[in-house]
Amino acid sequence: MKKWIILLVVLLLGMIALFSLQKDEQDLGDNYYYLPLYEAIDVGLPDGAIVYKSTQKYSFDEVKIKGDVVSIDCNEKFIIVIRKPKEVKYEEIYTKSSLGTDSLEYFIVVKKSDLVKGPFSKQKYLGKRKELGVSKDLKLDFEE
């Protein structure tokens, strides 16, 4: 019986540690942040998930990308983002077979110059990505 109680306590502590490591707001570095949809709704932002720049958490004066962000990645130089246009249904995003590459908008944020490039079609995004020298290590969902 003691073994089961110890095992249960260890599992519960592991789950608590796992959930405490999750962030509601993702720090993208250099004062850039990603606020996911559920958190944006909680703070009263009607346009959905956002990527913003601020010296203070939850200060949304410099929203760089707003809308339904479905994938994001970053490194020390760039932030890459896929956003779902308003006219695409939410369910279509998670069904690759029904999701055409023309259905999504792609962005590149150049951190050093604080420039947002996009929205791009997938083809133009890939060309701009190569032109800017975005690392191949940065990957987005729905990129092949």
Q: Is 80 exceeded by the pLDDT of residue 27?
A: yes
pLDDT at 26: 87
Residue 2 has a CB neighbour count (10 Å cut-off) of: 6
- Mean pLDDT across 97-103: 55
- Mean pLDDT across 126-132: 96
Binned at pLDDT 50, 70 and 90, residue 133 comes out as: very high
pLDDT at 8: 65
